Amino acid sequence: MTDRIALITGAAQGIGLACAEALAEDGCRVVLADLKESVTEEAARLGGHGYVCDMGDPAQIADLFDRIEAEVGPVSVLVNNAGIAIGADFLEMSEAQFRKVLDVNLVGVFLATQRAARTMVAQGIEGAIVNMSSINAQVAIPQIAGYCASKGGVMQLTKVASLALAPHNIRVNAVGPGSIDTEMMASVNADPAAFDRAMSRTPLKRPGTAREIGDVVAFLASPKASYVTGETIYVDGGRLALNYTV
């Protein structure tokens, strides 16, 4: 992985930052993008480059890749991690709320994947793209309709892109986290009853760590996963395998 340029979106904290750390340790030149300006500090700590970007804005996505290619070089590893969730009762969720989640979580992933792949194809780069899906691609929660729909879309988009890009030796995979100890899980951690409910449906009986996701992402981006494409690997402590009748 030495000197491969890896772009990680949503990388100022949590899972995205853990992915950047894992890839940097594997020798990648990391480029971090996030809405938060602190992304530049984290990137500097890792010896990389940081850019402020809204992954729900097509113009900013295009500008991000233009700047990276001009200032750093072509991206050969893309980690589409940026994502948001908006909670609302299903009957009360507005169209604007639903669209906002899809714009970041699904449309942004499509645009970034397409833009990165165009350069990879043009320059003969055998790249790797890793998308961040979720167990909510399969497990529905009615209070986060947009999030569930977007992650299901990411799962299918991963398969579509893997088939489209396979002739160019560009691999596309996804990771589906379960309950991970990040800011998104903070409200669950703060509520003992909610935490116990979450762990009751997690066979390993603990939340995962951001680094445990980052390590799987780094594996999928590496030559060790050279024959893996079109897959979603669920890192969920056994959640999806759980049979409540056992």
- Which are the catalytic amino acids? 147
Sequence-distant (6+) residues with CB within 8 A of 99 are: 146
Q: What is the pLDDT of residue 183?
A: 76
pLDDT for residue 18: 98
Low-confidence ranges of the chain (pLDDT < 50): none
Q: Which domains does the chain have, with CATH numbers?
A: 5-84+104-134+149-180+209-234 (3.40.50.720)
Please tell me the predicted confidence (pLDDT) of residue 93: 97
Give the pLDDT of residue 27.
97
Token pair belonging to 231: 């897959």
In angstroms, rounded to a whole number, what is the distance separating the alpha carbons of residues 52 and 230? 29
pLDDT at site 100: 98
Residues in the chain: 246
Position 245 scores a pLDDT of 53
Structure-token pair, residue 26: 């594997």
Q: Give tens-digit pLDDT for 85-132.
A: 999 999 999 999 999 999 999 999 999 999 999 999 999 999 999 999
Distance CA 213, CA 86 (A): 22
pLDDT (0 to 100) of residue 134? 97
What confidence score (pLDDT) does residue 194 get? Answer: 82
| CA nearest to 3, candidates 44, 45, 47 | 47
Query: Which pair of tokens denotes residue 165?
Result: 């890009």
pLDDT at 70: 98
- Contacting residues for 108 by C-beta, under 8 A, at least 6 apart: 9, 55, 56, 61, 80, 82
pLDDT at 189: 74
**Bridge partner list, 175:** 132, 233
**pTM for the whole structure:** 0.94
